[in-house]
Amino acid sequence: MLSWVIYDVTDDGARERIAKRCLQAGLSRVQKSVFLGAIEPTRLDELALQLAPLLDPDSDSIFFLPCCRRDYRSLRVLGRDFDRGLLGGEERRLIL
C-alpha cells in the first residue's frame, strides 16, 4: 500500500534522522518533510516505532497516511509536481 509520512519536527538533528529512516524504509522524498512510497503496513508500524523517540510530543508531529492507488491517481497538485516516476511508472502531471 502507498503511504505518506509527513512531519513537522523542530530539532534539526531529529529531522535528519527521521528523513534517513524514511529513506532506509524505501520511501521517496516528495518535499523536505514529506515522504511517499509503497510500504507494507507492518513495516510502516516498525518505522513509527523507530521514529517515535526522535520527536518531542509536545511540539512535534509525524503523520502516517495510507493511500490506495485510486486515491493517489486522483491527487491534485498546484504548482510544481513531484517526480511520480519514483513510484514505479506513475505519470508525471500537473493539475490546476
Single pTM value for the model = 0.83
Q: Does domain 2-87 have CATH number 3.20.20.70?
A: no
C-alpha distances out from residue 59 to 4, 7, 8, 38, 64, Å? 20, 11, 9, 28, 17
Q: pLDDT tens for residues 5-39? A: 999 999 999 999 999 999 999 999 999 999 999 99
**2-8 and 61-67 strand pairing:** antiparallel
pLDDT band at 91 (very low <50, low <70, confident <90, very high): very low
Question: Is the distance from CB of 38 to CB of 87 less than 8 angstroms?
Answer: yes
Put residue 88 in one of left, alpha, beta given phi > 0 → left and psi -120 to 50 → alpha.
Answer: left
Choice between 44 and 75, residue whose per-residue pLDDT is larger: 44
Model confidence band, residue 88 (pLDDT cutoffs 50, 70, 90): low
Residue ranges per structural domain of the chain: 2-87
> Which residues, in sequence order, are bridge partners of residue 96?
none
